[in-house]
Structure 1
Amino acid sequence: MIDKKIIVHFTVITFCFAYLVSGVLIVLGQFGYRVYSWVESLPQFCMNIPFAIYILSPAIASYIVLKKNNKIVNFQEWLKTVLLC
C-alpha cells in the first residue's frame, strides 16, 4: 500500500510541478523569453534555467517524495537509490 501511495504522490507532484513551470514559461514567452540551444553568454544561460527545471521535474519530485516518506536521508543516498535500482 505504501508503494502505491508513493507512486501517486510522485505522479501528482511531477505533473503539478511540470504544469506550473510550463505555464510560467508560456507566460514568459509573451514577454520575449527564449530557450537557447547554443549558449554564448551568462544571460542566455540564466534564461535556460527555468526550462532545465521543467525538464528535471520528475527527478525533483522523486527526491521530494522519497525524502518525505523517509526512504532516503540525504542527496547521496537518493543518487544511489535512483541510479542503482
Structure 2
Amino acid sequence: MSIKQSESRSGLKSKLASRNLEFEDSELEEALKKYNYFNLFNGIESILLSKTNPKTFNKVKLDDFIAIRVFNSIKI
C-alpha cells in the first residue's frame, strides 16, 4: 500500500462536487479547516453513498457529514 499525497483544498472541493455532495464553498472551507478531510469524510462516507463505483451521493449535504462527526464526538 502506497502513501497518498495530500490534495489541495480546491482539489478536494472538485472531488466532492463531482460526487454530487451539496455544499457552499465557504462552508466546506471552514469544515476542512476545522475537521480535515480524513476525519470528516473517510470512514463514514460509505453509509451516505448512493453508488460506490464511481462514488456518488444523492441529496447528501455537507451538513450531514458534520452532524455525524459531531454526534460521534459526544461523550456520554
Q: Does TM, scored on the shorter chain, surpass 0.5? A: no
More strand by share: 2
TM-score (ref. length: structure 1): 0.29
More helix by share: 1
TM-score (ref. length: structure 2): 0.31
